[in-house]
Amino acid sequence: MIDSLSYIGFTSPNATEWTSFGPEVLGLEVVPPGPDGAVRLRLDAAAHRIAIHPGSTDDLAYLGWAVADPGALADAVASLEATGIEVHSGDRELAAARAVEGIAWFHDPFGFRHELSHGQRRATEPFEPGRPMDGFVTGDGGLGHAVLFVPDLAEAERFYIDVLGFRLSDAVEDGVSIRFLHCNSRHHSLAFVAVPGMVGMHHLMLEVGSLDDVGAAYDIVNERHLPLAMTLGRHTNDRMTSFYVRTPSGFEIEYGYGGALVDVSQPWEAVTYDSGSSWGHKPPAERLFPGIIRPAETSA
C-alpha cells in the first residue's frame, strides 16, 4: 500500500526558530513558507519534505506517505474503508499545500493523522544545503523514519502491519518494547515504542551522505550547547551511526549515517535485540524527557 515516508508536518510555537536551526545545524534548505506561515524545509529534489506550522503547542501534525499513482491511492482508500476507517479526500488546496498531485487522509487508532499522496512535486532548482555537506539519503527510501509513542503494542502491530501493510524488520526489548517496520529497502520508515497510557512523537531520522556530515553536525550541536537527547553511537539493528538532538519543537532529530538496507526481494527474518545500541547513544547528565508525549485519549 505505502511506498515511503514522503513528508512530515509539525505544529510549534517556535516554528520560526527552524529558519536557523534547519539550515545551520541540520543542513536543510529553507524555502518559501506555506500559506499559514509554515517553515518549509528541503533536503533533496522534492519541493519540501518537512513543514513546521505555527501553533500554540508542539505536536506531530501529520505523517505523509507516498503511494505510486492515482490508482494506488484509490486502492488504498478502498482498502482502508473496508476495515471501517473513515478516509477523507483532500482538495486541491490541501494538495497544493503538501506539494503533491493527489491526497487523502485519515486518523489511526491513536489519533495520528496520516496522509496518503502521489505525485510529489520537485523543485525547479537543485537542492542547496544550508551549510557545506554531502547531502541526504532519500530516493526510493523516502524522507527517513519516524518513531512514535503508542499506548498499546498489540493494537499498533495490528494496525500498522495488518491494515497499512508495513512489514516487521525487527524488535528491541531492553526495558521498553520497540517495533521497527519497513515499506521499502530502508531498514525502517516507521517504528513505535510502547508506553502505556501515552501517545506522541519521539524522533525523526535524517540520514546523511557521509560520516563526516554526522561529525560536523555533532560539533555544531556541542559548540552551540544545544540539548542532546543521546550522544553519538551505533544501533544494533539498523547499524546507523548517529546522535539525537532536541529540536526547537520538542521532538528529537536522529542525525545518522550508514543505515542497513532490507532486501525486499527476499524473505526477511525479523529478530529481537536485547539492546538498542552496540555502543554510545548515552543520555546526557541532565536527561531530557523524550520527545512530544501526552496522555492518550480514551473513549468513554
Q: What is the pLDDT of residue 84?
A: 97
57/156 same-domain check: no
pLDDT tops 50 at residue 182: yes
Asked whether residue 129 is domain-assigned, the answer is no
186/289 same-domain check: yes
164/235 same-domain check: yes
144/268 same-domain check: yes
Give percent of the chain above pLDDT 70.
99
Last residue of a domain, one of 86, 118, 150: 118
Q: How many CB atoms lie under 10 A from the CB of residue 263?
A: 8
pTM over 0.95? The answer is yes
Give the model's confidence band at 297: pLDDT under 50 very low, under 70 low, under 90 confident, else very high: confident
Look at the chain and report how many structural domains it folds into: 2
101/211 same-domain check: no
Which residues on adjacent β-strands are paired with residue 194?
150
Give the model's confidence band at 51: pLDDT under 50 very low, under 70 low, under 90 confident, else very high: very high
Average pLDDT of the residues of the chain: 96
Cα–Cα distance for residue pair 277/235, rounded to 1 Å: 4
Asked whether residue 64 is domain-assigned, the answer is yes
Asked whether residue 134 is domain-assigned, the answer is no
91/153 same-domain check: no
Domain CATH for 29: 3.10.180.10
pLDDT tops 90 at residue 89: yes
98/181 same-domain check: no
Task: Work out the average pLDDT over 18-42.
Answer: 98
Give the model's confidence band at 299: pLDDT under 50 very low, under 70 low, under 90 confident, else very high: very low
Of 209, 211, 267, nearest to 234 (Cα)? 211
260/189 same-domain check: yes
Asked whether residue 253 is domain-assigned, the answer is yes
107/187 same-domain check: no
Asked whether residue 52 is domain-assigned, the answer is yes
147/90 same-domain check: no
pLDDT tops 50 at residue 300: no
Domain span at 247: 139-295
Task: Work out the average pLDDT over 119-132.
Answer: 97
Q: Chain centroid to CA 183: how far?
A: 13
Give percent of the chain above pLDDT 90.
96
Q: What is the pLDDT of residue 290?
A: 75
Strands (E), the chain: 4-12, 29-31, 39-42, 50-54, 59-66, 88-89, 102-107, 113-118, 145-150, 167-173, 177-182, 190-194, 198-207, 228-235, 241-246, 252-257, 272-273, 277-280, 292-295
Asked whether residue 236 is domain-assigned, the answer is yes
pLDDT tops 80 at residue 289: no
- pLDDT tens, 233-264? 999 999 999 999 999 999 999 999 999 999 99
Asked whether residue 88 is domain-assigned, the answer is yes
Q: Are 260 and 278 in contact (CB under 8 A)?
A: no
110/145 same-domain check: no
3-state secondary structure (DSSP) of residue 21: helix
